[in-house]
């Protein structure tokens, strides 16, 4: 057993990568465990065929849904986790998201911290991930200073649409985007293979490039790739984790440190705790509340495309527009509906994965005349939506989407908006309950140990040296992209560990 580390961090995504970067600046000896490897820089990074048909970078793991049917989750294991593939839309939650909000299907619960508590960490996270945006335009924007970098300008055709959206009385605003060195020699070239692709230029703000590589450049940080954490072992009292059982390149071993930070993503972190059940934690580690794995959320997301058969869309980088007019209250309803974003260009291959028998050339002709949008609504934490472990050790995801009425209203409203913009046809598609990209909520944080798994600093109520800093701490999913909030809280937890444990 290796005893020479002060901190073990498991996972290198938005949570694990960010906390590794922050703690690397202390003198603590840190071991990072990552089940995957570095994603190679290769032509396939930007090849829709490799990414969307061959699923080259997607996990080969199979999970089961609530009916026991197997599916391939939309998730990636490797250095940087899912941030390598994200669209880099890096929003702060709205101030209201931290409070209880009445949604169509029930109450979205309050967070144990308010926006003001996280605000300085949002600012640090935006600097770390070099976020570009423009303050003062989005009507739902929480109080904030200027962005570290100016917004990415809308492409000419998108700028025309923005003008027309304003003429409809809406308040489109620039999406906050984490893109590195835009327009510089070695920087982002604003291409059309960003969201769901790896950046071949390493010009996307993601955890591998912004956090893990700078962290492991320091002498106090060690990274073990191809190392999966299978189980956390506790002392006889059950109050402290004493070792992490890992499998490294086919070999089983244990590693130990006084502080263990789990950041495997919301589903895998819950699975790790459930698999770590022992005499003192019969229902899973840190599970005295019975909430480990429960309250899983994933957002309700629908892709929409507006088409004009006579108008080719020449935009390359399209993902610059956010519409938050219905975030807190919809038209013709007092309830929040969610968010609308312009989305990266759909490629023919991507579209063909939906209906494979339509020939590729037909799809290419179709998507070349389309403008793509993402419509996203909050789903609510309910106990029945949960992660469990099957007898064979596999992951089962019980998820029945809720708050669908709000989402359907937002989809219908978006369709009206797009028709008013002059699109002849509007189509939509959703990956439904197998879309695990925005997974969160399985180990929620709170002040009451009977009603939460983690405390407000993401320390397990039941296990004093165990922290969890990935998306699992979310008590509600809000309706903006989760990544910046995960990173901000990871920075806050890093400060707390530095001040109280080191």
Q: Which residues bind ligand SF4 (CB under 6 A)?
A: 179, 188-191, 193-194, 197, 199, 201, 203-204, 317
Instruction: Give the binding range for ligand FAD (CB under 6 A) out of 86-94, 294-302, 309-317, 405-413.
Output: 86-94
Q: Does 82 bind ligand FAD (CB under 6 A)?
A: yes
Shortest separation between residue 437's beta carbon and ligand SF4, angstroms: 17
State how beta strands 370-377 and 339-342 pair. antiparallel
Q: Does 471 bind ligand FAD (CB under 6 A)?
A: yes
**224: which 2 tokens?**
């073990």
Closer to ligand FAD by CB, 227 or 403: give it.
227
Q: Output the residue with the shortest Cβ distance to ligand FAD.
A: 13
Footprint on residues 256-315 left by ligand FAD (CB under 6 A) = 263-266, 268, 272
Q: Does 33 bind ligand FAD (CB under 6 A)?
A: yes
Shortest separation between residue 194's beta carbon and ligand SF4, angstroms: 3
With CB cut-offs between 5 and 8 Å by kind, which of ligand FAD, ligand SF4, none does residue 15 bind? ligand FAD
With CB cut-offs between 5 and 8 Å by kind, which of ligand FAD, ligand SF4, none does residue 194 bind? ligand SF4
DSSP tag of 231: E
Query: At CA 32, angle to CA 26 and CA 37, rounded to 5?
Result: 140
CB–CB of 389/230 below 8 Å? no
Closer to ligand FAD by CB, 71 or 424: give it.
71
Shortest separation between residue 236's beta carbon and ligand SF4, angstroms: 50
Measured CA to CA, the distance from residue 324 to residue 138 in angstroms comes to 7
Measured CA to CA, the distance from residue 493 to residue 491 in angstroms comes to 5
Q: How many residues in the shown chain lie near ligand FAD by CB under 6 A? A: 42
Count CB-CB contacts under 10 A for residue 383: 10
Selected from 5, 63, 86, 373, the binder of ligand FAD by CB under 6 A is 86
CB contact set of 54 (below 8 Å; sequence gap of 6+): none
Q: Does 97 bind ligand FAD (CB under 6 A)?
A: no
Q: Does 195 bind ligand FAD (CB under 6 A)?
A: yes
Footprint on residues 214-253 left by ligand FAD (CB under 6 A) = 228-229
Closer to ligand FAD by CB, 104 or 216: give it.
216
Shortest separation between residue 264's beta carbon and ligand FAD, angstroms: 3
Question: What is each CA distance from 368 to 281, 309, 312, 499, in whole angstroms?
Answer: 55, 9, 6, 54
Measured CA to CA, the distance from residue 284 to residue 263 in angstroms comes to 17
Selected from 481, 489, 491, 494, the binder of ligand FAD by CB under 6 A is 481
Q: Does 483 bind ligand FAD (CB under 6 A)?
A: yes
The beta strand positions in 238-369, using DSSP E, are 241-248, 251-255, 259-262, 300-307, 321-323, 339-342
With CB cut-offs between 5 and 8 Å by kind, which of ligand FAD, ligand SF4, none does residue 10 bind? ligand FAD
Instruction: Give the binding range for ligand FAD (CB under 6 A) out of 8-16, 234-242, 403-411, 455-463.
Output: 8-16
Closer to ligand SF4 by CB, 188 or 229: give it.
188
Closer to ligand FAD by CB, 83 or 452: give it.
83
CB contact set of 318 (below 8 Å; sequence gap of 6+): 155, 158, 192, 342, 343, 344, 345, 371, 372
Footprint on residues 157-186 left by ligand FAD (CB under 6 A) = none
Phi-psi region of 81 (alpha: psi -120 to 50; beta: other; left: phi over 0): left
With CB cut-offs between 5 and 8 Å by kind, which of ligand FAD, ligand SF4, none does residue 483 bind? ligand FAD
Closer to ligand SF4 by CB, 199 or 285: give it.
199
Q: Which residues of 180-198 are buried (b: 16+ CB within 10 A; e: fewer)?
A: bebeeeeebebbbbbbbbb
Shortest separation between residue 439's beta carbon and ligand SF4, angstroms: 23
Task: Concatenate the DSSP letters of all residues of 183-196 into one string.
Answer: TSTTS----S--TT
Measured CA to CA, the distance from residue 261 to residue 9 in angstroms comes to 5
CB–CB of 181/132 below 8 Å? no
With CB cut-offs between 5 and 8 Å by kind, which of ligand SF4, ligand FAD, none does residue 348 bind? none
Q: Does 24 bind ligand FAD (CB under 6 A)?
A: no
Task: Lay out the site mask for ligand FAD across 381-420 (x = CB under 6 A, - = otherwise).
Answer: ----------------------------------------
145: exposed, middle or buried (Cβ count in 10 Å: 0-12, 13-18, 19+): exposed
Closer to ligand SF4 by CB, 183 or 422: give it.
183
Shortest separation between residue 354's beta carbon and ligand SF4, angstroms: 23
| Nearest Cα residue to 458 out of 137, 82, 15, 66 | 15
Shortest separation between residue 154's beta carbon and ligand SF4, angstroms: 14
Selected from 140, 193, 196, 313, the binder of ligand FAD by CB under 6 A is 196
| Nearest Cα residue to 444 out of 293, 281, 261, 260 | 293
Count CB-CB contacts under 10 A for residue 445: 24
CB–CB of 434/65 below 8 Å? yes
Closer to ligand SF4 by CB, 43 or 237: give it.
43
Task: Concatenate the DSSP letters of all residues of 120-163 into one string.
Answer: HHHHHHHHHTTEEE-TT--TTPPS----SEEPPPPPHHHHHHHH
Query: What are the residues binding ligand FAD (CB under 6 A)?
Result: 10-16, 33-36, 74, 77-78, 81-83, 85-90, 195-196, 228-229, 263-266, 268, 272, 437-438, 470-471, 481-484, 486
């Amino acid at each position: 057993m290796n005893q020479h580390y002060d901190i073990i961090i498991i996972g290198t995504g938005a949570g694990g990568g960010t906390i590794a970067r922050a703690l690397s600046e202390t003198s603590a000896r840190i071991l990072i465990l990552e089940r995957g490897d570095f994603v190679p820089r290769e032509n396939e990074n930007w090849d829709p065929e490799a990414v969307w048909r061959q699923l080259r970078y997607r996990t080969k793991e199979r999970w089961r849904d609530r009916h026991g049917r197997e599916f391939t989750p939309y998730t990636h294991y490797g250095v940087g986790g899912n941030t390598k593939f994200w669209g880099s839309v890096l929003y702060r939650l709205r101030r209201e998201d931290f409070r209880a909000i009445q949604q169509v299907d029930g109450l979205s619960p309050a967070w144990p911290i308010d926006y003001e508590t996280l605000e300085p960490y949002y600012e640090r996270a935006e600097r770390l991930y070099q976020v570009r945006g423009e303050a003062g335009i989005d009507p739902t924007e929480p109080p904030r200073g200027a962005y570290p970098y100016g917004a990415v300008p809308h492409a000419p055709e998108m700028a025309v649409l923005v003008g027309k959206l304003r003429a409809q009385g809406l308040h489109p605003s620039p999406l906050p985007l984490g893109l590195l060195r835009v327009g510089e020699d070695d920087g982002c070239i604003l291409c059309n293979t960003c969201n769901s692709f790896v950046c071949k230029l390493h010009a996307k703000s993601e955890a591998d490039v912004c956090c893990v590589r700078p962290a492991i450049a320091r002498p106090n940080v060690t990274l073990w790739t191809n190392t999966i954490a299978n189980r956390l072992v506790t002392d006889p009292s059950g109050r402290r984790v004493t070792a992490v059982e890992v499998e490294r390149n086919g070999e089983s071993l244990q590693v130990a440190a006084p502080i263990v930070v789990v950041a495997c993503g919301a589903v895998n972190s819950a699975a790790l705790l459930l698999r770590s059940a022992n005499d003192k934690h019969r229902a899973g580690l840190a599970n005295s509340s019975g909430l480990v794995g429960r309250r899983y959320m994933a957002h309700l997301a629908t892709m929409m495309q507006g088409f004009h058969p006579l108008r080719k869309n020449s935009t390359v980088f399209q993902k610059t527009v956010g519409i938050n007019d219905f975030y807190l209250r919809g038209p013709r309803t007092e309830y929040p509906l969610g968010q609308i974003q312009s989305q990266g260009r759909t490629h023919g291959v991507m579209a063909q994965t939906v209906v494979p028998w339509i020939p590729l050339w037909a799809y290419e002709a179709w998507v070349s005349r389309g403008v793509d949008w993402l419509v996203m609504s909050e789903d609510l934490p309910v106990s029945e939506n949960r992660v469990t472990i099957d007898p064979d050790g596999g992951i089962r995801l019980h998820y029945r989407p809720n708050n669908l009425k709000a989402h359907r209203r937002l989809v219908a409203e978006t369709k009206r908006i797009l028709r008013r913009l002059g699109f002849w046809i509007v189509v939509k598609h959703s990956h439904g309950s197998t879309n695990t990209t925005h997974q969160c909520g399985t180990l929620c944080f709170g002040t009451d140990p009977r009603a939460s798994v983690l405390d407000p600093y993401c320390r397990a109520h039941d296990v004093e040296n165990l922290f969890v800093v990935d998306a699992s701490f979310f008590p509600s999913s809000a309706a903006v992209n989760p990544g910046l909030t995960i990173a901000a809280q990871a920075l806050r937890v890093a400060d707390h560990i530095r001040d109280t444990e080191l």
